[in-house]
Structure 1
Amino acid sequence: MTISANAQQGSWSVSVETEAAPEGGFQATIHVKHESPEGDFEHTFHHARVFIVEREAVLEGLREGMTWIALKTTRTIGV
């Protein structure tokens, strides 16, 4: 079974999908999106960890995506 979830903060959004990892467990794919008049921005990446429980993969994926947004909006990282 695949679980997906999303969260939104202002003009930023995060969506997460899980998939079975080849070595067992579940991996989260994280999609971060920002909509603005200057142009839309999207970034997709995998969570570094593989999780035994699919629910944990989704929750950690959302947390990682929101952390990524916080780092991007404070200009701590640039992509």
Structure 2
Amino acid sequence: MALSGKVFDGDWSVSAETHQTTGGFDCTILLSHSTPEGMFTHEFRHDSIFPSEREAVLAGLREGMVWVQLKMSKTLSV
């Protein structure tokens, strides 16, 4: 069973889904937000392994929200 979560506001969304792996759980993060050029989406895996699915999904949502904040403030460009 995979645990998942989603956080969103008007212009952006972050979702995270856990996967069992050696030593615990990791997390895939999908984020999207509206830009003048259209919808931007990006998917990546968290770089850490967590002992529980709960910790993995919460860390994934936090990481995705930080990523969106950096992208929307133009601190990060992809």
When the two structures are superposed, what TM-score results if normalisation uses the length of structure 1?
Answer: 0.91
Quote the Cα distance in structure 2 between the aligned partners of 1:41 and 1:26. Answer: 27
- Give the RMSD, CA atoms, in angstroms: 1.2
Counterpart for residue 53 of structure 1: 52
Moved more, 41-50 or 27-36: 27-36
Cross-structure match for 1:70: 69
* Unaligned residue ranges in structure 2 (runs of 5+): none
Number of residue equivalences:
78
**1:35 CA drift (Å):** 3.0
Letter in 1 for 2:3: I
Q: Secondary structure at the match of 1:52?
A: coil
Matches within 5 A, 1:34-45: 34-36=33-35, 38-45=37-44
* Residues in 2 aligned to 1:75 and 1:39: alpha-carbon distance in whole angstroms: 16
1:37 positional shift: 5.4
Q: Deviations over 1:19-44 (max 9, x none)?
A: 011x2200010000113453111100
CA distance in 2, matches of 1:65, 1:9: 13
What are structure 1's unaligned runs of at least 5 residues? Answer: none
Query: Structure 1 vs Structure 2: percent identity of aligned residues?
Result: 51
Q: How far, CA to CA, are the matches of 2:71 and 2:35 in structure 1?
A: 14
More strand per residue: 2
